Structure 1
Amino acid sequence: MDAFTGLLDGPRARGAFLLRSIMNPPWSLRIQDRAPLTLVAVVRGEAWVVPDDGEPVRLRPGDVAITRGPEPYTVADDPATPPQIVIHPGQRCTTPEGEDLSQSMNLGVRTWGDPDGSAGSTVMLTGTYQMGGEISQRLLEALPTLLVLEEDAWDCPLVPLLASEIVKDEPGQEAVLDRLLDLLLIAVLRTWFALQEAEAPAWYRAHSDPVVGKALRMLLNNPAHPWTVSTLATGAGVSRAALARRFAELVGEPPMTFLTGWRLALAADLLRERDATVGAVARQVGYGSSFALSTAFKRVRGISPQEHRVGASGR
């Protein structure tokens, strides 16, 4: 497992919300669905993403934006256009006064928008993740509230492919769209993390270091192994002191602290599986017993694994 795979190990779309929007100006959508991660790709025309706390950003054809929730924001033809439609949790859409618009703006298979102009000067694709796993939280913490990848910054055929597939109603189409959304997200983030201006997390950047990167791969690939700083140093081909110093310098925390966080993040995600027991999860992530995992989990996260499982099921 490399750093990028570890970062994206949680967000796998399962019945994700996908929609093609066709709009004619003036239009303005107030997004307050509290979704943790949303991807917007412009196919035709242009749009503005207007954060509540930040500068408006223009999207042109081929540009892709990723927004990190749950804070609300606005997408409009112009930053000055007042919201005309509000998107609520569950993707329920209303007027600002609360009148339901779901049926009146339905234009066909996964298509929604201005009923007065099916051609539409602006066409956008939207994919929304409803993620709950803690590995996903690691990804969210690595992202800004809004990132935009412009069309000329990459060469990727996935947006046109998603545009052609999103309107199909074939057997297994939901699975096809889920996988396309995952691929598009990975492609965008891989390109964005490679940009110099991207503020990738320290542990992600450290993955390219010949010493620390090797130690990180060992931890990520086999978290259940009884690692020590000494065994990591031997695997990386350096002294214990050299590894400890360089790891803390590049990653921002000692190796064993990073390992604990990684194990507990994995455990938090695994505990969401219906048939997983605390004991089985404990063994998978490197704890000798359910008691040992529970003790570490509660010390770091403030709740027991069982309380976490109940909370995740409720969400």
Structure 2
Amino acid sequence: MDALASLLEGPRARGAFVMCSLLEPPWSLRVEDEAPLTVVAMVRGGAWIVTDTAPARQLRAGDIAIFRGPDHYTVADDPGTAPQVIIEPGQITKTADGEILCETLSLGVRQWGTDPDGSTMLVTGAYESVGTAGHGLLRALPPVIVLGRDDFDSRVLDILVDEAVKDEPAQGVVLDRLLDMVLITALRTWLGRTDAPAWYHAYGDPLVGKALRLLQHNPAHGWTVAGLAEAVGVSRAALARRFTDLVGAPPMAFLTEWRLALAADLLTDSEATIESIARQVGYGSAFALSTAFKRQFGVSPRDHRRGVRTPELSSVG
């Protein structure tokens, strides 16, 4: 499993929100849905992205933007256009005065906006829930990534745009998979750039890359820094130093976070007992997992399975 595959193992679209917006200037959308990950493709026309922390950035036809939640942002025809529509959690759309617009601005199957012939068209795909094992990806991303059409292979994006307005059997599943492909294609381009996180390139390091793969593929093994160093053929001190420099955390700290992220996903997506999950991810007992899990996330494994969330978990899953 390479670096990108490891990062994207968690965030898989499941019932993702996909919508085509048709708009005529002036328009401005204030996005406060707090989705952990959102892809916006500019099909025609243009737009500006306005955040609370960075200068406004322009989107042109064919460009794609990836937003890392839960930060709020505005997409508008011009940076000076005041927000006319507020998009809240659950993709509830309201006017600035609080009037609900979901039905008022409906233009058909997964189409929404102010004008069916609008000069602006954009397609939005929102991951409203990302598996906890996707924490590494979300932590790696900046608040906004913008890629030009010529920067990445846009063929799958064209298919997503075409499929977004169809209502065929299993269409939701088709859109989920297409959205995943668009995200992977875009992130593969971005992560290959020099401005990608330094730790991402650690997978290409002959020592640290091997150590990362050993930890991720075998979380149940009783790893120690000494044992890991022996497995990759380097001294304990050299591995600890190089791993920390490239990954940003010591080997055992990385392993703990990985094990607990896997446990969180297994608790949500399987019916395995907590004892069984504990052993799958490298803890000797349910008690040991529960202690570490509560320390990391602020809730017990049992409460997490019941749907209890804390800021540590809700921000990544």
TMscore range, shorter length: over 0.9
Equivalent residues of 1:135, 1:265 under 8 A apart: yes
Q: Equivalents in 2 of 1:136, 1:148: separation in Å? A: 20
Q: Equivalents in 2 of 1:305, 1:167: separation in Å? A: 40
Do the aligned partners of residues 79 and 16 (structure 1) sit closer, same or farther apart at CA in structure 2, a change above 3 Å counting? same
Deviation at 1:248, TM superposition (A): 2.2
AA aligned to 1:108 is G
Aligned equivalent of 2:174, options 176, 184, 189: 176
Equivalent residues of 1:233, 1:243 under 8 A apart: yes
**Pair 1:249 & 2:245 matched:** yes
Aligned equivalent of 1:298, options 294, 298, 304: 294
Equivalent residues of 2:299, 2:309 under 8 A apart: no
Deviation at 1:62, TM superposition (A): 1.3
Q: Equivalents in 1 of 2:219, 2:19: separation in Å? A: 38
Three-state SS of the structure 1 residue aligned to 2:272 is coil
Mapping for residues 101-250 of structure 1, pairs under 5 Å? 101-114=101-114, 117-198=115-196, 200=197, 202=199, 204-250=200-246
1:3 corresponds in structure 2 to: 3
Q: Percent identity between the aligned chains?
A: 58
Q: Equivalents in 2 of 1:43, 1:312: separation in Å? A: 39
Larger displacement relative to structure 2 (292-301 or 65-74): 292-301
Q: Equivalents in 1 of 2:106, 2:298: separation in Å? A: 45
Q: Give RMSD over aligned pairs.
A: 1.8
1:45 corresponds in structure 2 to: 45
2:267 corresponds in structure 1 to: 271
Do the aligned partners of residues 11 and 132 (structure 1) sit closer, same or farther apart at CA in structure 2, a change above 3 Å counting? closer
Instruction: Count residues with an aligned counterpart.
Output: 311
Q: Equivalents in 2 of 1:299, 1:104: separation in Å? A: 46
Equivalent residues of 2:299, 2:308 under 8 A apart: no
2:86 corresponds in structure 1 to: 86
The gaps in structure 2 that reach 5 residues or longer are: none
Equivalent residues of 1:272, 1:313 under 8 A apart: no
Equivalent residues of 1:23, 1:120 under 8 A apart: yes
Deviation at 1:295, TM superposition (A): 2.2
Three-state SS of the structure 1 residue aligned to 2:87 is strand
Three-state SS of the structure 2 residue aligned to 1:271 is helix
**Pair 1:280 & 2:276 matched:** yes
AA aligned to 1:72 is H
TM-score normalised by the chain length of structure 1: 0.93
